[in-house]
Amino acid sequence: MDHGNQKLISYAVTGAIVAVVLFLRMRSLTRERRLRLELMWILPVVMLVAAAALFLQYPPHGSDWLWLAAIFAAGAGLGWWRGRLIPISVDPDTHLLNTKPSPAALLFLLALFVVRFGLRGTLAAESASWRISPALITDGFVVFSVGLFSISRLEMALRAWRLLGAARAAKALASA
């Protein structure tokens, strides 16, 4: 099998997986889900541990750290924006937090995936002429993801705490 067919098969498999995941996520967009503040820290910690393991295996050098900091900042900024797109509500009686997946947040992630997938080949091919190591490109995607998902969860948690505090204060005023 030649390289062109392998690449085509790789794209087809990736596209099929993305289509299935999007189909399953789109079906659940109409249902509210419980937002568990006590579990929101788990994904960012797992991602930080994975990034640390990557950096221990292939440590960045010199100015790579500046690039990674800038990439993290970009991911964090987009993560804050993504977190704001996800609606959160508080049940006034039970004070349970609920979230409804946002179609805009899902489309935002899809757009990021498409950009990342499109840049993968271009960046790998151009990295030598730009004098960028392929490891920095990989590290950049990892750091961007950590910033995106960690900060979006942070924004959601802070907003959920504010909403929960307001609901408790309103209930206390109503019962007083």
**Range scoring the smallest mean pLDDT among 20-29, 43-52, 127-136:** 127-136
Specify whether the CB–CB gap between 54 and 157 falls below 8 A: no
Under 8 Å CB-to-CB from 78, ≥6 apart: which residues? 108, 112, 147, 148
Percent of the chain with pLDDT over 70: 81
pLDDT of residue 54: 86
Is pLDDT at 121 greater than 80 in this prediction? no
Is pLDDT at 112 greater than 80 in this prediction? no
Is pLDDT at 12 greater than 70 in this prediction? yes
Distance of CA 128 to the CA centre of its chain: 29
Specify whether the CB–CB gap between 141 and 69 falls below 8 A: no
Sheet (strand 33-34) strand order: 33-34, 97-99, 88-90
99: tokens are 């979230």
Is pLDDT at 33 greater than 90 in this prediction? no
pLDDT in tens, 133-174: 777 777 888 899 899 999 999 999 999 999 999 988 888 888
pLDDT of residue 120: 62
Q: What is the mean pLDDT of the chain?
A: 82
User: Is pLDDT larger for residue 83 or for residue 132?
Assistant: 83
pLDDT band at residue 84 under the 50/70/90 scheme: very high
Is pLDDT at 17 greater than 90 in this prediction? no
Is pLDDT at 57 greater than 80 in this prediction? yes
User: Is pLDDT larger for residue 119 or for residue 160?
Assistant: 160
Query: What are the φ and ψ backbone dihedral angles of 60, each rounded to 5 degrees?
Result: -65, 155
pLDDT of residue 107: 73
pLDDT of residue 62: 86
pTM: 0.73
Is pLDDT at 71 greater than 90 in this prediction? yes
